[in-house]
A and B are shown apart, each in its own frame.
Chain A
């Protein structure tokens, strides 16, 4: 295998002459048969690290991806490059097509799936019928960021890998703190993984924090920043309602700017349209929640502004990392108000079930058992009884399964086991809460940093960082004139709809 000339293969399959930073080392390690953990900064071509080996290795490469839109984008891009032997299996694929993909697995090089799909019996069956050469976990930080609460199937990936015959594993991420890296490796149960960790600081993104005391002042500061008229801008919110509300205010305030909002509560078609308009330069500002961004590969985002700060530093680094992928000067602005702390701690607590709800479930279940009525469904009609959200129930469901209280979607009641497990689960909730609070605490302490924001932001992740030539942070001094102004085309104005139709169809 070592004899493969990787540059030649790169040229042959992708048309590139040279690798970008980190790619070659990772690919080489995979080709040498190692399990690899790669952390590469955003925008450096992480996916090539498995797309090339997928072509070279004998067998199938399975890529676990968190979002359907990400897999669709990847497959579309690959197919546009004539990399045809790939597919994605998700809810947009019809039953018939899914069967076809499964039947032809042995002919494919690359298949994208979600962690949830891998829990389906059907998927397990078909994947166990082929040789899996490489098992990839893309955006691997999801394991530690989402695995505990709302995407618990992420925690089962280690188990899945062993069911699939222990293929080689590649975990990829753009942002993971050292503790997170170790946790992910533990979940995957591959202590010998080769770690390739590249610095994630971005010297072309200047950092600003501005303190505000009221919503009014926040809005003023927001419009002030937007009036500077940098190019494409992202504005992040933690609440869908605020996101829509501020978006409407901005539309009124900036009649000549093209503004839209985007969040996870919107209809799928609307989401695709807004995302593509943004990519296509049809929008200047986009108001969004964290649902927007993963997989957004727009190179000329100049400003990422946080109207609300996120609940941990990893998320913040991921979100600002969408700015300046073209290497040009860009800026991150965070508007901080003390009231936002309440919002964040509220959101944080809502992610986990209340301890009383857990006790209630146990009480009711034991009553049902006593009256032999335990044969009940565990869907919304069940968890709504205890006023749990879907996320909270998913967390509990996973815990119940883990402690043998639920098996094959049925409750297995045992008085003693239940009592013991409940205590453990309640402890675990406490631990998770404390963990999240600690994460939030890190974020808050960064918000109050009075010396260099850059040094302080990256210190948890890496020993050093590159000192920028132009813009470091608001505490070290900034020169905003170095940031490009907006030069996107003003949306064409039409006399009437007939003219607009002409433009749509013929471009003139």
Chain B
């Protein structure tokens, strides 16, 4: 149900303006500027990157099912643009899923995954070491996370007992913000002393859900947990130490370099030349900078009167589709300007 709801809500908000592929990019959190901009433009930041490991075939299958059950219509053409039916709108209206409101993909998408991996490995490690079992197989294979946990253990040496008690207290407290059955799923996932937790398939089997729903349920819980502990880190000293906010930095590395060069007074042509990048790439950077930095001056690229034209064209066409807007504009206006305008109005 969760997965279906996410897809339908996305399709409803996109209102036929974006293709099936764009939806997949949004949910898996593709880092292209187009996808990020879509998330802002259509008020879908909460779903951005919530399911990075989503299999394309699973996604396609679910879209076909929605089509078959007449929740969506798909215009066939060069690309596939889905439109939600009344049945879909009704389903979404009549079955509100509280947990979906917990999703904050743009903020937590990546961070939540890291948080959870650290938490899983930490609980497994501390419970086993405290219980005298040194021969357990780590449930998280990622070496970076393993190293992080190793360092963390060095930092708490001597107070493992207390940390173990704190984590029990904090987890219990934070899980009380959920229903018992949700908390149960979360606990079933955990590995501990002489015990390996359940995989997604197993959770799905036990709780009578499908795997994608289990994944999104856990994602939503992780986002909400992060919200709670970041609001009151003093109440969750152990849990909040697993949250790392490096992912929050606004700009991709390359765009940040472009911004520094622009700030030094270079123009986009010479930046492209100097960095051996295409002009298009630099334009992508500029759109991304505009999206993140409300004080960034776009007038050199988008004169006021052109911005007005675009605003008018958008109102006239009532469309978010770049192509439609462009067709309603005078000759000589390009997609870069339209995207820049859209970036600014978010």
Inter-chain contact A273/B192, CB cutoff 8 Å: no
CB-CB contacts below 8 Å: A55-109 with B: 72-73, 76, 80, 92-94, 97
Inter-chain contact A272/B141, CB cutoff 8 Å: yes
Q: How far is the CB of B135 from chain A (nearest CB, A)?
A: 6
Q: Bound complex: CA of A386 vs CA of B183, how far in Å?
A: 49
Q: How far is the CB of A495 from chain B (nearest CB, A)?
A: 11
Judge whether A239 is part of the interface by a CB distance below 8 angstroms.
Answer: no
Judge whether B137 is part of the interface by a CB distance below 8 angstroms.
Answer: yes
Q: Bound complex: CA of A498 vs CA of B134, how far in Å?
A: 25
With CB as the reference atom, state the residue of chain B lying closest to A251.
B205
Most A-side CB within 10 Å, residue of B135, B183, B193, B199: B199
Judge whether A336 is part of the interface by a CB distance below 8 angstroms.
Answer: no
With CB as the reference atom, state the residue of chain A lying closest to B131.
A507
With CB as the reference atom, state the residue of chain B lying closest to A507.
B193
Which of A34-42, A190-198, A262-270, A444-452 has 4 or more CB atoms under 8 Å from chain B? A262-270
Q: How far is the CB of A81 from chain B (nearest CB, A)?
A: 10
Contacts of B123 in A (CB 8 A): 504-505
Given A497-B184, A505-B164, A280–B171 Cβ distance below 8 Å?
no
Given A498-B172, A501-B187, A507-B131, A270–B194 Cβ distance below 8 Å?
no
Inter-chain contact A276/B196, CB cutoff 8 Å: yes
Inter-chain contact B137/A276, CB cutoff 8 Å: yes
With CB as the reference atom, state the residue of chain A lying closest to B164.
A505
Given A72-B141, A276-B137, A282–B201 Cβ distance below 8 Å?
no
8 Å CB contact of B200 from A248, A267, A497, A505: A267
Judge whether A277 is part of the interface by a CB distance below 8 angstroms.
Answer: yes
Inter-chain contact B205/A92, CB cutoff 8 Å: no
Judge whether B64 is part of the interface by a CB distance below 8 angstroms.
Answer: no
Inter-chain contact A248/B205, CB cutoff 8 Å: yes
Contacts of B192 in A (CB 8 A): 503-505
Given A94-B144, A504-B195, A505-B127, A270–B172 Cβ distance below 8 Å?
no
Inter-chain contact B135/A80, CB cutoff 8 Å: yes
CB-CB contacts below 8 Å: B164-211 with A: 164, 167-168, 171-172, 175, 180, 183-184, 186-188, 190-202, 205
Contacts of B184 in A (CB 8 A): 496-497, 500
Judge whether A274 is part of the interface by a CB distance below 8 angstroms.
Answer: yes
Judge whether B139 is part of the interface by a CB distance below 8 angstroms.
Answer: yes
Q: Bound complex: CA of A20 vs CA of B253, how far in Å?
A: 57
Q: How large is the interface on B (under 10, 10 to 19, 20 to 34, 35 or more residues)?
A: 35 or more
Given A260-B202, A501-B168, A501-B171, A273–B180 Cβ distance below 8 Å?
no
Inter-chain contact B193/A273, CB cutoff 8 Å: no
Judge whether B246 is part of the interface by a CB distance below 8 angstroms.
Answer: no
Q: How far is the CB of B156 from chain A (nearest CB, A)?
A: 15
Contacts of A501 in B (CB 8 A): 168, 171-172, 187, 190
Most A-side CB within 10 Å, residue of B175, B198, B202: B202
CB-CB contacts below 8 Å: A243-272 with B: 248, 251, 260-261, 266-272
Inter-chain contact B139/A272, CB cutoff 8 Å: yes
Inter-chain contact A92/B194, CB cutoff 8 Å: no
Contact with A along B129-163 (1 / 0, CB 8 A): 01100110101111110000000000000000000
Judge whether B276 is part of the interface by a CB distance below 8 angstroms.
Answer: no
Given A248-B205, A504-B192, A505-B168, A497–B183 Cβ distance below 8 Å?
yes
Judge whether A502 is part of the interface by a CB distance below 8 angstroms.
Answer: yes
Contacts of B234 in A (CB 8 A): none
Contacts of B143 in A (CB 8 A): 92-94, 97
Q: Bound complex: CA of A501 vs CA of B187, how far in Å?
A: 7
Inter-chain contact B168/A266, CB cutoff 8 Å: no
Judge whether B264 is part of the interface by a CB distance below 8 angstroms.
Answer: no
Q: Bound complex: CA of A500 vs CA of B187, how far in Å?
A: 7
Contacts of A92 in B (CB 8 A): 141-143
Judge whether B53 is part of the interface by a CB distance below 8 angstroms.
Answer: yes
Q: Bound complex: CA of A181 vs CA of B284, how far in Å?
A: 59
Inter-chain contact B199/A267, CB cutoff 8 Å: yes
8 Å CB contact of B195 from A80, A260, A282, A496: A282
Q: How far is the CB of B161 from chain A (nearest CB, A)?
A: 10
8 Å CB contact of B199 from A94, A269, A502, A503: A269
Inter-chain contact B175/A506, CB cutoff 8 Å: no
8 Å CB contact of B201 from A73, A261, A268, A507: A261
Q: Bound complex: CA of A269 vs CA of B191, how far in Å?
A: 12
Inter-chain contact A76/B139, CB cutoff 8 Å: no
Q: Bound complex: CA of A342 vs CA of B188, how far in Å?
A: 40
Q: Bound complex: CA of A326 vs CA of B17, how far in Å?
A: 64
Contacts of A97 in B (CB 8 A): 143
Q: Bound complex: CA of A266 vs CA of B203, how far in Å?
A: 14
Inter-chain contact A505/B167, CB cutoff 8 Å: yes
Contacts of A273 in B (CB 8 A): 139, 191, 196-199, 202
Contacts of A504 in B (CB 8 A): 123, 127, 187, 190-193, 195
Q: How far is the CB of A13 from chain B (nearest CB, A)?
A: 19
Contacts of A502 in B (CB 8 A): 168
Contacts of A93 in B (CB 8 A): 143
Q: How far is the CB of A329 from chain B (nearest CB, A)?
A: 28
Q: Bound complex: CA of A501 vs CA of B168, how far in Å?
A: 7
Please list the residues of chain A having a beta carbon within 8 angstroms of any beta carbon in chain B.
72-73, 76, 80, 92-94, 97, 248, 251, 260-261, 266-274, 276-277, 279-280, 282, 496-498, 500-507
Extra 18 A-B pairs, beta carbons < 8 Å, given A273-B139, A500-B187, A505-B193:
A73-B137, A80-B135, A92-B143, A251-B205, A260-B199, A267-B199, A270-B199, A272-B139, A273-B198, A273-B202, A274-B202, A279-B137, A497-B180, A498-B172, A500-B184, A501-B168, A505-B126, A506-B164
Please list the residues of chain B having a beta carbon within 8 angstroms of any beta carbon in chain A.
53, 123, 126-127, 130-131, 134-135, 137, 139-144, 164, 167-168, 171-172, 175, 180, 183-184, 186-188, 190-202, 205
User: Nearest 9 pairs between A and B by C-beta?
Assistant: A504-B192, A270-B199, A276-B196, A273-B199, A497-B187, A507-B193, A277-B196, A497-B184, A497-B183
A–B pairs, 13, beta carbons within 8 Å = A80-B134, A269-B140, A270-B199, A272-B137, A273-B139, A273-B198, A273-B202, A501-B168, A501-B187, A503-B193, A503-B195, A505-B126, A505-B168
